[in-house]
Amino acid sequence: MESSSWPGTLSCKRLKAIQELTRGQQLTNKLREMLGQQEKIESDLMLVDGVVAEILGMFDNTLSILNSYTFNEKPHIQTHDMRFQSSVDDQQSHDSGESEKSVRPVKNKRGCYKRGRTSSTFTKVTSTLIDDGYAWRKYGQKPILNAKYQRNYFRCTHKGEQGCQATKQVQKTDDEPPKYVTTYNGHHTCKNLQTASHIILDTPNNRDNSFLLNFETSTPTENKPTSPCLISMKQTPKEDLPSLCLENEQASSSNNHTPWDPLTKLSQVSFEPMSMILSGFDHEDMIFSEVFSSTCSTNCYKIDDMIGINDFGELLYECFSPTFSKKEEELVIGHLM
DNA sequence: TAAATTTGACCTGT
DNA sequence: ACAGGTCAAATTTA
């Protein structure tokens, strides 16, 4: 358990958190400018996507920093945004010795693991397999009851070296055309975010290019309304690979072998658009719409609906004002700008 | 040869 | 008992 305290490691970590929040503020402003432009071409949308990814990474880093403090030692973070409060509460419960004892997997015992969703679990549905900039390693796949396709399990490649606990599950639905239900668990604590690396792994319809995030608690195998996906190209599939569609996976479920599995190919390139924003709070705590939709065809990013740009400044002040003077804060921010 | 994937075993929760 | 999630040895890939 992390035992760092505010007084002890305050300067360094606080500066880091401020730096992350400030960066997020800048990026959000940049995003607003980009969205203000009426004429959009696809390359612009890819840029927007990249900026969004950076903002999300900022949230992730900041929350990781803030969550690294033990709850009792933290100054009270009084924010009107309950999302952040729930993050603190959630962290507290996770840090309690007893609960940790009950869920900690026994080392070197196969199959012993902490079951159930972590605080930052959410599901999204896409029509394509796309990159979220993180490196994932596939660690399992299972046939799921009443599901035509097997569910694939991924964990962060840096779990071993950096202890990153982020995992995700990818389930192809029975829909026609099929959708990909990705359930993210936990958030990345690794420092290996490969920003601006977004990949089209499967684009049955390039016009169909928006994505939908679903924070409901329903199971991933349920059919969900979906919309197209916003994605961009990074690499091309191997020449003789069947275009990253899952026909072969389907065949594998009946033939008990998997000649080629695009979800495996996805292990290096997946998509985690909102995990950072949602890190540390349950979906039950969502105070905004249960469904976050970003449709590039209408350029309708709703980031502002979720956290106002001015909230960054408020957050900076509310997080650090108890022990950090406004003057000091301004000095730091000025230095960062 | 190291890294990634596959896959059956093992474990937990219901 | 069953379904789902994870482990880790075996296998494949780059």
Could you tell me the residue ranges of all domains in chain A?
Answer: 9-95+303-336, 122-278
Q: Which residue has the higher pLDDT, A10 or A299?
A: A10
pLDDT, average across residues A248-273:
43
Confidence grade of residue A142 (pLDDT, cut at 50, 70, 90)? very high
Of all protein residues, which has its CA closest to the C1' atom of B7?
Answer: A140
Range in A41-50, A61-70, A163-172 the model is least confident about: A61-70
Res A264: pLDDT: 52
Three-state secondary-structure class, residue A286: coil
The span from the CA of A225 to the CA of A140, in Å, is: 27
pLDDT at A163: 76
Rounded to an integer, the average pLDDT of A103-118 is: 44
Q: How far apart are CA A179 and CA A173, in angstroms?
A: 5
Q: Which two tokens stand for residue A195?
A: 């920003």
From CA A102, how far away is CA A114, in angstroms rounded?
9
**Fold held by A122-278:** N-terminal domain of TfIIb (2.20.25)
Select from A133, A84, A123, A113 the least CA-distant residue to A279. Answer: A84
Determine if strand C comes within 7 Å of the CB of A185: yes
Is the pLDDT higher at A225 or at A126? A126
Pure H helices in A261-325: 262-265, 275-278, 303-306, 309-320
Residue A268 CA to C10 C1' — how many Å? 22
Q: How far is the CA of A147 from the C1' of B8 (A)?
A: 20
- List the single range of A73-77, A168-172, A208-212 with lowest mean pLDDT: A73-77
**pLDDT at A237 exceeding the cut of 70:** no
CB-CB contact of A172 with A248 (8 Å): no
Q: Is the pLDDT of residue A83 over 60?
A: no
Angle at the Cα of A190 (from A201 to A212), degrees rounded to 5? Answer: 40
Q: Which residue is nearest to nucleotide B13 (CA to C1')?
A: A115
Q: pLDDT value at position A143?
A: 92
